[in-house]
């Protein structure tokens, strides 16, 4: 079989981007060489591997899991079905944390619900300072530590536990988080690729999806320095409630940041001094 024939076989089932990625994975050829070497013969083993990856893709497995990596904020992060795939919208939270860091000298930063560690590692790399991180999933935390080390060259302070449990007695200038915040209904409306990701990384609890965010906002003042800042990603439809929750927990200077699609994506507030 020629490479061009394999490509046509894949294109009958999937789009050209996914087909090119699968061919690259099984042959090592980039997009240009896939064209210039399209008449090359390939052995049955390469075709069998390509069809195996095709079957995985058709079953709904996201391409990022098939590749084992995902680009985020200019870096390649290892991903697996145990972590949420980093999304471009979340780069807004990274930008926000980087900008807010200028308000503090040697800021102490914590990333809650770290997942793959993409946020923590991206902020740490950009600022050349350590960023602490934690997750309730042991398998996710293992990947986060690996990514953090690969991207920053540092051994990260990554801890296992539910929300603030691993950080008793600690204080931070900035706490950032992209926690689960979908409602059950919103989650059911997602496509099959999303449903291949860990469900506990999406559903936030409660009728409005803000169960975890409520806990984070209520608990955060205990772990923030005087005038420390809490920044959260949530859905644009939840911003009004989140703003009220921040005010109720004595946060001030509340701001909402839009993502590249011009949707409200990040909300943050400063802790009022006692």
Give the pLDDT score at 181. Answer: 97
The encoded tokens of residue 25 equal 């994975």
The token duo for 175 is: 């706490």
For residue 273, the model assigns a pLDDT of: 80
For residue 8, the model assigns a pLDDT of 93
* Residue 64, in any domain of the structure: no
Q: Tens-digit pLDDT profile for the chain (274 aa)?
A: 899 999 999 999 999 999 999 999 999 999 999 999 999 998 999 999 999 999 999 999 999 999 999 999 999 999 999 999 999 999 999 999 999 999 999 999 999 999 999 999 999 999 999 999 999 999 999 999 999 999 999 999 999 999 999 999 999 999 999 999 999 999 999 998 999 999 999 999 999 999 999 999 999 999 999 999 999 999 999 999 999 999 999 999 999 999 999 999 999 999 988 7
A 10 A CB-CB count for 87 gives 13
Q: Does 126 fall in a domain? A: yes
Residues 76 and 197 in one domain: yes
Q: pLDDT value at position 154?
A: 93
Round to whole Å and give the CA distance between 221 and 32. 53
pLDDT score, position 168: 96
| CA proximity to 235, closest of 256, 216, 217 | 256
214 and 78 in a common domain? yes
Sheet holding 224-233, edge to edge: 158-160, 132-135, 109-112, 172-177, 224-233, 264-271, 251-258
Pair of tokens at residue 177? 């988080």
Q: What is the CATH number of the domain that holds 230?
A: 3.40.50.150
Domain count, the chain: 2
Q: In this structure, are strands 251-258 and 264-271 parallel, antiparallel, or unpaired?
A: antiparallel
**Same domain, residue pair 21 and 82:** no
* Residue whose C-alpha is closest to residue 118's, from 216, 270, 233, 271: 233
Residues spanned by the domain of 21: 3-59
pLDDT value at position 200? Answer: 93
Which single residue is written with the structure tokens 């899991």?
Answer: 65
Q: Say yes or no: 142 and 48 in one domain.
A: no
Distance, in Å, from the CA atom of 181 to the CA atom of 178, rounded to the nearest integer, reads: 8
Answer whether residue 85 is part of any domain: yes
Report if pTM > 0.85: yes
Tokens representing residue 48 in the block = 């069998």
* Cα distance between the two ends of the chain: 73
Asked whether residue 191 is domain-assigned, the answer is yes
Q: What is the DSSP string of 93-138?
A: HHHHHHHHHTTSSS--EEEES-TTSHHHHHHHHHHTS--EEEES-H
Is residue 65, in this structure, part of any structural domain at all? no
Closest by Cα among 172, 177, 111 to 144:
111
Based on the domain organization, do 132 and 170 belong to the same domain?
yes
Place of tokens 């090592």: 28
Specify the residue for token string 């469900």. Answer: 199
Whether 228 and 112 share a structural domain: yes
């Amino acid at each position: 079989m020629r490479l061009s024939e394999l490509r046509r076989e894949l294109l009958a089932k999937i789009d050209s981007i996914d087909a090119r990625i699968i061919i690259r994975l099984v042959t090592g050829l980039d997009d240009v060489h896939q064209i210039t070497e399209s008449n090359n013969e390939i052995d049955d083993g390469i075709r069998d591997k390509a069809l195996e990856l095709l079957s995985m893709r058709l079953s709904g497995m996201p391409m990022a899991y098939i590749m084992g990596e995902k680009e985020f904020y200019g870096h390649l992060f290892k991903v697996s079905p145990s972590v949420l795939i980093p999304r471009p919208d979340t780069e807004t939270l990274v930008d926000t944390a980087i900008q807010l860091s200028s308000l503090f000298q040697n800021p102490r930063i914590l990333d809650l619900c770290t997942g793959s560690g993409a946020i923590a590692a991206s902020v740490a790399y950009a600022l050349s300072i350590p960023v602490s991180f934690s997750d309730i999933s042991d398998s996710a935390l293992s990947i986060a530590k690996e990514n953090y080390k690969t991207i920053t060259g540092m051994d990260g302070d990554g801890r296992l536990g539910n929300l603030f449990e691993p950080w008793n007695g600690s204080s931070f200038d900035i706490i950032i988080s992209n926690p689960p915040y979908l409602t059950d209904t919103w989650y059911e409306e997602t496509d099959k690729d999303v449903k291949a990701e860990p469900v506990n990384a999406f559903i936030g609890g409660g009728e409005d999806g803000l169960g975890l965010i409520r806990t984070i906002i209520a608990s955060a003042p205990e772990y923030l320095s005087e005038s420390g800042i809490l920044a959260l990603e949530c859905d644009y439809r939840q911003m009004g409630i989140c703003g009220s929750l921040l005010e109720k927990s004595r946060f001030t200077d509340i701001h909402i940041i839009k993502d590249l699609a011009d949707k409200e994506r990040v909300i943050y507030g400063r802790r009022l001094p006692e």
